[in-house]
Amino acid sequence: MPQLKSTFPFAHLFWFLDSTKLDLIKDRNLIIHQTLAYGTMDDFKKLLQTYSKKTLCCEFQKGGRGLYLPAVLEFCRYLLKVKRLNHKTKYLKYDHLSPA
């Protein structure tokens, strides 16, 4: 079911597509990663109101396909209490910036 732009709380983070066509269930991986990578703490709070913490952790651990700066990735891990990530470099926007 398409979301109306005025009711979709993360529309400002999806400048690159028509956010009215996003579905909170089908597109949750994209919505969660885009919001974690580019959103504010208020956006994070809205994520917690929209999805369970278990869902956020599960989707986060699936990988973000080069969306995250290293500091943002570590902050998201801290917020979600994720201890380990497999293939950490696939999350990073610029993997050459990754700490050794």
pLDDT recorded at residue 4: 40
List pLDDT tens digits, range 69-84: 999 999 999 999 999 8
Structural domain contains residue 3: no
pLDDT recorded at residue 80: 96
Structural domain contains residue 4: no
Distance CA 85, CA 76 (A): 11
Residue 5 pLDDT level (bands cut at 50, 70, 90): very low
State which residues form the domain around 84.
Answer: 11-97
The upper half-sphere exposure of residue 46, i.e. CA atoms within 13 Å in the direction of its Cβ, equals 16
Number of domains in the chain: 1
Distance CA 47, CA 49 (A): 5
